[in-house]
Amino acid sequence: MWGRSYSGRPIYATTSVQIIDSVGVTIYNGKLIVASDSGATVIIDGTSNMFKILATGTFSGSGNDLTQTDLATVTLTGLGTFATTPGHISYVSPANDTAANQQLGTYLPANSNSWVASSSGGATTAAGVTLQYVSYIKTHLDGSNQCMVIMTMVNHSGSSQTNYGRYYVLAEAAL
């Protein structure tokens, strides 16, 4: 097997260990195998699959109290049609900054209700946990079999809430 680095230098595989520096390498008439220290193939072998990101985007929206609201919807017409709903990874967050909680899938802030119990000598005892609101991102196919991405909120917090989110629509692809 032989190749040529991006700087134009020829590379010949003469040992079992090859080091590719920041210049990179192009391989002709061969394949690239990435192996762990034990010698096991890691992933790139020409027959394995991975998820490819077909589309990504961000959302924001506000939902009123005691409602289920689709805060934001996007139809990804540029992806064409699908036989089945594509998978996705997403997160939702209560703020639009990197320091905010970013919950994979569903954001579930909770509120703990407490009371003073006479049987415990007046100590505060937790009554239970009540969800304030639930916010999540989902994908489904519309009537034309195009992928829709929707951020939804079920709000029981007592006030309007604004959430933010990011989604990645995925497709399985060969390496």
Parse the chain into domains and list their residue ranges.
49-174
Q: Distance between CA atoms of 163 and 96, rounded to whole angstroms? A: 8
> What are residue 96's DSSP bridge partners?
none
Q: What is the pLDDT of residue 1?
A: 44
Amino acid at 40: A
The CATH number of 49-174 is 2.60.120
What φ, ψ does residue 157 adopt, rounded to 5°? Answer: -90, -15
Lowest mean pLDDT, pick from 49-63, 65-79, 81-95, 119-133: 119-133
| Global pTM exceeds 0.85 | no
**Mean pLDDT for the chain?**
75
pLDDT at 86 over 90: yes
Q: What is the dihedral of CA 47, 52, 54, 60, to 10 degrees?
A: 160
SS3 category, 104? strand
| Span 92-114, average pLDDT | 73
pLDDT at 148 over 90: yes
Q: What is the pLDDT of residue 126?
A: 56
Q: What is the pLDDT of residue 84?
A: 93
